[in-house]
């Protein structure tokens, strides 16, 4: 069975994502690793991340993993999660404009303050909890009902330059891109590893994906 590398660059909890991948596909070889060789040798790569984008980019640049990611994101089935999705764009408003990896053209911006829902209640930031994801056709959505709820926790969101990379949207209260697809890359703002059955299905789909559309 195939192998998957979960990139470890010191940004928090990788226990859950590793366990969720293993649970989704017990036959799969899951490696949590910071080794460039291990990442290059794996069949697939997962790029997770939580916390602040500046710390994330600092860790990636210090460890040299920026180049490794830029390289494997061109060649292997690649899944970015949360900060691991945001880092793929060009820059991020957080921490006063942080430059990111520029693998997908576009920017990451903060939810506007004082947005209201239909009942006139102020929407809280972070956007935290289970929200519906409207899918745009892609192999990674296989067996997942349209508009299923996934678990989100974030204050910034991606605004890609080219809307054809949008693979899923959520509303808070306006629609925003919460899944991006570009060739062999799939990237999500929500946490599949914390989204129960539908999240595990998405991980399973990824572990069987050949990177083609």
CB of 165 to other proteins, least distance (A): 21
Q: 191 an active-site residue? A: yes
Q: 208 an active-site residue? A: no
**How far apart are the C-alpha atoms of 170 and 132, rounded to whole Å?**
6
CB of 105 to other proteins, least distance (A): 26
Does residue 173 have a cis peptide bond before it, meaning omega lies within 30 degrees of 0? yes
Asked if 55 contacts 28 with a C-beta cutoff of 8 angstroms, the reply is: no
| Bridging pattern class, strands 106-110 and 91-92 | parallel
**For other proteins, which is the closer residue by CB, 23 or 138?**
23
Tokens of 75: 């060649």
Q: Which residues are near other proteins by CB under 8 A? A: 12-13, 15-16, 19-20, 23, 50-52, 113, 117-118, 121-122, 124-132, 134, 147, 149, 151-155, 170-173, 191, 193-196, 199-200
Q: 56 an active-site residue? A: no
**For other proteins, which is the closer residue by CB, 134 or 208?**
134
**For other proteins, which is the closer residue by CB, 40 or 130?**
130
Positions annotated as catalytic residues are 82, 191, 193
């Amino acid at each position: 069975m195939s192998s998957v590398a979960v990139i470890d660059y010191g940004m928090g909890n990788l226990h859950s994502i590793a366990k969720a991948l293993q649970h989704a596909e017990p036959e799969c070889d899951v490696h949590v690793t910071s080794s460039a060789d291990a990442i290059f040798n794996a069949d697939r790569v997962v790029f997770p991340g939580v916390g602040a984008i500046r710390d994330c980019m600092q860790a990636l640049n210090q460890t040299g993993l920026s180049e490794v990611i830029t390289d494997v994101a061109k060649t292997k089935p690649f899944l970015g999660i949360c900060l691991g999705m945001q880092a793929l764009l060009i820059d991020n408003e957080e921490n006063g404009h942080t430059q990111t990896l520029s693998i997908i053209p576009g920017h990451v911006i903060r939810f506007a303050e004082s947005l209201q829902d239909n009942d006139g209640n102020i929407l809280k930031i972070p956007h935290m909890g289970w929200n519906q994801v409207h899918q745009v056709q892609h192999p990674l959505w296989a067996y997942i009902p349209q508009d299923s709820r996934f678990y989100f926790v974030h204050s910034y969101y991606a605004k890609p330059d080219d809307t054809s990379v949008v693979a899923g949207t959520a509303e808070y209260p306006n629609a925003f891109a919460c899944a991006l697809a570009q060739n062999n890359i799939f990237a999500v703002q929500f946490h599949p590893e914390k989204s129960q059955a539908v999240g595990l299905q998405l991980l399973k789909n990824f572990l069987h994906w050949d990177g083609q559309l």
